[in-house]
Every structure is written in C-alpha cells, then in structure tokens.
C-alpha cells in the first residue's frame, strides 16, 4: 500500500478475505486452517474498528466535547456564514431606572449664504441627533428621630425609626441588588466588586458584608425553591443534567432540573444515585425525564425516559466518520427527518400510521447494523468483568435496548428531541468556574445555585407574571423584587 488510511486498510483486509474464501472454495485450505483464519479475520476487523475510532479526532460536532475545548480554526470549519442567532433576550427596561429625556431645538436665525433674517420663517423639517449617557447617582436618605422630655414625668421619648433602618448605617435594596447582580450574574470577583462600589458611593463595604447580602437572599429564597420543586413534580416532562463544580478544591456536582419556565440547580458531592436520592425530585416524579442516557437516571423505572437526540446525532456522526458504517448514516438521517416532521406538525407528534412506519424503519436499520458490525468474540470462561467493546458496538446496543426512549419525542408532544434546555441552564455555571476558579466554602456554592436558579426561572417568565407573583407572595422581599430588574444573561 502506497498510503495508509482507513479506506486503504479496509480495502486490503477485504481483498485478503476474498482471496482466502476463493482458496477455501477450491479446496486448497484444510478445515482446521479455515477455522483458524476466520477467527483471525474476526479479530482483525474488530481491532480495525477500534483503531479507526481512536484515530478519528473528536470535536464538538461529533462528540460531547464543548466548543471551548476546540480550537477556533477547527470549530469554524463548515460553519462559515452562520447567522449566529442565540437565545432571544428580554428587552424590557429595568423598573428601578429613571430616564431623563430632554429635547433641545437648534434654531436657525440667518441664512448662511445671503445673511437673510429667518426668524419669522416657519420650520419645515427637523433633523435629529441623539446622545445617550449614564450618570450614576448616590442616594442618601437621613431619618432624624426627635428626642423630647416629658414635662410631667420627666421621661425621655424618642421618635420611631422606619422598620428597615435597624442601625446607625444600612444599605438600601438597590445597592444590595446591584452587588448580588455583579457577584452572581456578572461573575465579578469579590475584591473587584468592593472596589467598584467604593468608587461609586465613596464607602468601603467589607467583603463579609457583601457576602451577607448573598446569604440573606439565599435564605429568603428557600420557600420559593420548595414551591418550585412542587411545580416540577407536576410537570409532564423535565430535563435533567449534571456537571462538575469545584468547591473548596474538591470536585462537586451541579444537578439541574428544568421544565417550562422553572430551573432548579442543586449541589452535591456525588454525581450518581446518591445525589439523586438526596435531591429527592426524581424518586417522587412520575412523568418523563429527558437526559443523556446516564445509567443513574435509567435505574428509576417508575419514570418515563427520553434520550437526548443531540447526543445521539453527535455520536452517530463520529461512528460514520471513523468507520463509515452505513447504519450510522441511515439512523442519523432518520432521526433528523423525524425531528423536522414532528416540529412541523400541529400536534407536535406523529400519527399512529407514521409512528408505525418510523418503528419499522428504525428496527430495519438496527438489524442491518448488527450484520454490518464485526462480531464480538465470546467471553473466555472464568474471566471476570465485562468485555471491552468499541464505541460503535455500545451505541448500537443503546439503540437496540432503548428504542422506546429514543423515539419517545415522536409519540409524546411534551418530550423534546434534545436535552439542550438543561445544558443551557448549566452553561453559566461553567463560565462562573472559569472566572472564579472555585468556591471557597460550600455554603456560598449552595447560595449561587439557588439564586441563579431563581434568576433563570424569572428570566423565562413574562414580566407581568413576575410582578404579580412578587407582589402576592409574602415571602418575597424587596431585595428579591429589585433583583428581578437585572436581567440574566
């Protein structure tokens, strides 16, 4: 072979196998040699399959590797000219801002060419130029309580201060909301927030005071979190996912549960079933959970399961790129066509006839895939553990064992094709970790999870509904109300 690539290797192996079969047909090979060589060809095909998988580079297009770990040159290949549309932002103006708008008329008194007096001439048209600026305003409010002495009993009486002024100096809700916005939403470091606030108001607020703002809001949102959990338990389907988060130089796991406008994030030391049991949402849930086929989720048989189509498509892309299996290409095309058909239907699901046809095509692809894949050698008796399989074998087994979960999006209108909602809800926590490195103590990591959950939830709700709930729920404080004014990005 002049060059070595996956096409030439497969061609050479196929040629050798054909020549051997011709020799067997001519009776030139003994039965013992035939059995030995067929076993050798089986092992060669299996090794070749694994070798091509190892030599194919994984990117964010054919695996779950995030785009941040892919070089810009590689990630931009094949995606030139994209429209770059992302999540639609909320354009509502923050309610605690004041807009001072002034219009100044630039008058025309004389003609620039002939010096004619134009004072009495009426204006026919205006041309406007606009300047927008921001001026930060420090608001200081003093309350002077009168102190009087009763002439009768000589008692000293002092006027009562407002309920929100407990000591000689306190900070307003707007300042607290601004600090929490910088720490939680904008992920600014504590020291930089302290310096920024000092430059704006001329007061140095200690870091412990800034952290108290966060902890007070964390405690105030406890009742909201319990209420949101109950709403999740009544949802038809929820998206679940998890990602790592460094806390006190140790690896923790951030678990997210999303449905409708609700987003809830919980922190736990473990990733699997121990964390799921401690959070206690899935064990009490009877709907459908959409996930990426993590074994811990599949262990809950009382729930319905929907597998993320994005993960499946990326893995199918990798399998086809590495080994050129026809079943991977056909399955990817089938899932993409079904997703488009479901999204265009009014009921967001397929009819009985279409669903039966889908299942027939699905099973035919899986059957042909089992014949196309190299066979797995039998397990040696007495050997412990599972047999090592290639990624292609594992993916094909997943399609065989979880057909109902893979195709559930075409049957249930409440089940989405992908688990992107949960992954998007986790994305900002990864940005937080990149900026801050990790959390020093677990309590502030828990506070970040609850507060960011609340902000993301409210960002998904219509503004009028948010205002109504803030007014009607007695456990929501003014600080939480003002926090809504800062949009989650």
Domain residue extents for the chain:
6-52, 171-281+439-489
**In 146-206, which ranges are continuous DSSP H helix?**
173-180, 190-201
Longest dimension (CA), the chain: 131
Q: Which H/E stretch holds residue 105?
A: none
Q: What is the pLDDT of residues 141-178, one digit of tens each?
A: 999 999 989 998 989 999 999 988 888 988 988 888 88
pLDDT at res. 479: 42
pTM: 0.77
63 compared with 474, residue with greater pLDDT: 63
pLDDT at res. 462: 62
Residues with Cβ < 8 Å from 401, sequence gap 6 or more?
A: none
Whether the predicted pLDDT of 473 surpasses 60: no
228 compared with 42, residue with greater pLDDT: 228
pLDDT at res. 68: 56
Asked if residues 241 and 422 have their Cβ atoms less than 8 Å apart, the reply is yes
pLDDT at res. 247: 92
Q: What gap in Å lies between CA 341 and CA 405, rounded to an integer?
A: 18
Per-residue pLDDT averaged across 347-351, rounded? 93
pLDDT at res. 91: 59
pLDDT at res. 1: 42
The SS3 assignment for 199 reads helix
Q: What is the pLDDT of residues 362-391, one digit of tens each?
A: 999 999 999 988 877 776 676 676 767 788
Instruction: Express as a percent the part of the chain with pLDDT over 90.
Output: 47
Q: What is the pLDDT of residues 322-346, one digit of tens each?
A: 888 899 999 999 999 999 999 999 9
Q: What gap in Å lies between CA 258 and CA 406, rounded to an integer?
A: 20
pLDDT at res. 265: 97
Place of tokens 């910088």: 182
pLDDT at res. 53: 64
Per-residue pLDDT averaged across 214-238, rounded? 94
Q: What is the pLDDT of residues 272-302, one digit of tens each?
A: 999 999 999 999 999 999 999 999 999 999 9
Whether the predicted pLDDT of 2 surpasses 50: no
Whether the predicted pLDDT of 56 surpasses 90: no
**Helix/strand/coil percent split, the chain, to 5:** 50, 10, 40
Q: Which H/E stretch holds residue 252?
A: strand 250-259
């Amino acid at each position: 072979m002049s060059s070595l690539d996956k096409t030439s290797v497969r061609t050479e192996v196929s040629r050798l196998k054909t020549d051997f079969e011709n020799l067997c047909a001519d009776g030139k090979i003994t039965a013992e040699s035939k059995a030995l060589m067929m076993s050798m060809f089986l092992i060669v095909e299996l090794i070749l399959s694994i070798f091509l998988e190892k030599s194919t580079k994984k990117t964010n297009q054919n695996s779950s590797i995030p785009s941040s770990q892919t070089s810009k040159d590689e990630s931009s290949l094949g995606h030139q000219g994209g429209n770059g549309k992302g999540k639609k932002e909320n354009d509502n103006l923050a309610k605690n801002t004041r807009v001072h708008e002034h219009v100044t008329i630039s008058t025309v008194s004389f003609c620039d060419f002939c010096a004619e007096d134009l004072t009495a001439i009426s204006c026919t048209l205006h041309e406007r130029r606009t300047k927008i600026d921001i001026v930060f305003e420090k608001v200081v409010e003093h309350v002077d309580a009168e102190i009087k002495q009763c002439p009768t009993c000589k008692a000293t009486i002092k006027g009562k201060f407002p309920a929100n002024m407990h000591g000689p100096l306190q900070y307003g809700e707007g300042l607290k909301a601004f600090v929490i916005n910088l720490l939680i939403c904008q992920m600014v470091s504590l020291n930089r927030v302290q310096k920024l606030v000092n430059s704006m108001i001329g007061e140095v607020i200690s870091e412990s005071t800034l952290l108290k703002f966060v902890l007070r809001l964390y405690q105030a949102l406890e009742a909201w979190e319990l209420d949101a959990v109950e709403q999740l338990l009544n949802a038809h389907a929820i998206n679940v996912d998890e990602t790592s988060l460094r806390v006190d130089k140790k690896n923790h796991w951030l678990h997210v549960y999303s449905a409708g406008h609700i987003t809830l994030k919980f922190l736990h030391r473990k990733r699997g079933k121990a964390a799921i049991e401690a959070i206690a949402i899935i064990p009490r849930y009877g709907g459908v959970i959409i996930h990426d086929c993590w074994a811990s989720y599949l262990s809950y048989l009382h729930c319905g399961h929907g597998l993320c189509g994005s993960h499946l498509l990326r893995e199918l892309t990798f399998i086809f790129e590495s080994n050129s299996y026809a079943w991977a290409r056909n399955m990817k095309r089938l899932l993409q066509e079904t997703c488009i058909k479901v999204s265009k239907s009014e009921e967001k699901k397929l009819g009985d006839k279409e669903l039966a046809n889908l299942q027939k095509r699905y099973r035919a692809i899986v059957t042909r895939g089992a014949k196309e894949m190299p066979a797995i050698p039998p397990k040696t008796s007495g050997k412990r553990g599972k047999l090592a399989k290639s990624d292609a074998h594992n993916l094909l087994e997943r399609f065989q064992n979880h057909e109902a979960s893979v195709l559930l999006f075409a049957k249930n209108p409440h089940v989405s094709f992908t688990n992107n909602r949960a992954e998007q809800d986790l994305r900002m926590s990864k940005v937080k970790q990149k900026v801050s490195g990790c959390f020093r103590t677990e309590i502030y990591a828990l506070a970040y999870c609850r507060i960011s959950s609340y902000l993301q939830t409210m960002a998904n709700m219509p503004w009028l509904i948010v205002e109504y709930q803030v007014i009607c729920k007695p456990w929501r404080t003014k600080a939480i109300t003002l926090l809504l004014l800062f949009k989650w990005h």
